[in-house]
Amino acid sequence: MSESPARPFTDRIKTFMPRTSPLNTSQKQGMSDFAPKMQLTLAQGKLNPEAIFGRRAPLTIEIGFGMGQTLIKMAQAAPERDFIGIEIHKPGVAQLCFDAGTQGVTNLRYYSEDAVSVLEQAIEPGSVDTVQLFFPDPWQKARHHKRRFVRPDLIELVRQTLSVGGRFHMATDWAPYAEWMLEHMEAAAGFNNAHEPGEYMPRPAWRPLTKFEQRGHDQGHGVWDLIYVRVD
């Protein structure tokens, strides 16, 4: 008897909960003045970074960029790279567009779609240099752990997205989720820990320290970085 085909990633349990909030004045300007030039959609089909950015450059994708401050700082600090953010929270998208547009950041685009759908449907396998997942929802309750992004099926999706030698960079300020990430990534096929087996990575200089993170440090809270390299 033949096995039933696996469900596509997009049919599986969602890793996010949609939220709605009103836009402030700058965010409204971001959507009206800058979003049309920055937005990418699943309806456009497979992503062609060379056509979008007008060049061939290493590509970084950030999943869940929040209000976009870290992503913008990284794009500004690495003009030789191209960046794509994925975020469904409209105020965050709008703030990213306003800040990037008014600061003249040109190596940055975004999807306001389910990240799993974007990776599965829009990104060519093996085409991404870095996937970033900074401070994702830890889904603290045990019954919600199935919604965590760092889980075997999505780790494999990230692996397929990355080029060989590409990096999956995660960061969290929730210790149980850090332990979960480490356990699952150490067990994942096709990845090596970029630091030492079974250990966290000291925060790399290229990941900006956010105000939220600094406030946590001041209060004695920990933050854990993990970087894994695709090896096959």
Q: Is pTM, for the whole model, over 0.85?
A: yes
Domains and CATH numbers, the chain: 23-230 (3.40.50.150)
- pLDDT at site 14: 60
Q: Contact, 69 vs 139, CB < 8 A?
A: no
Q: Give the SS3 label for residue 179.
A: helix
Residue 102 neighbours by CB distance under 10 Å: 13
> Does the active-site annotation cover 137?
yes
Q: Rounded to 5 degrees, what are φ and ψ at 42?
A: -65, -30
Q: Contact, 27 vs 95, CB < 8 A?
A: yes
Show the tokens assigned to 27. 């965010």
The kind and range of the H/E element at 132 are strand 128-134
- pLDDT at site 213: 83
- pLDDT at site 15: 53
Count Cβ neighbours within 10 Å for each residue of 179-204 and write b for 16 or more, e otherwise: ebbbebbeebebbebeeeeeebbeee
- Residue by residue, pLDDT tens for the chain (232 residues) are 333 344 454 445 665 556 678 999 999 999 999 999 999 999 999 999 999 999 999 999 999 999 999 999 999 999 999 999 999 999 999 999 999 999 999 999 999 999 999 999 999 999 999 999 999 988 566 665 787 999 999 999 999 999 999 999 999 999 999 999 999 999 999 999 999 999 999 999 999 987 778 877 888 889 999 999 999 9
- pLDDT at site 146: 85
Count Cβ neighbours within 10 Å for each residue of 30-45 and write b for 16 or more, e otherwise: bbeebbeebbbebeee
**Which one of the listed residues 11, 99, 129, 137 is annotated catalytic?**
137
Distances (CA, A) of 29 to 44, 95, 101, 113: 24, 9, 10, 21
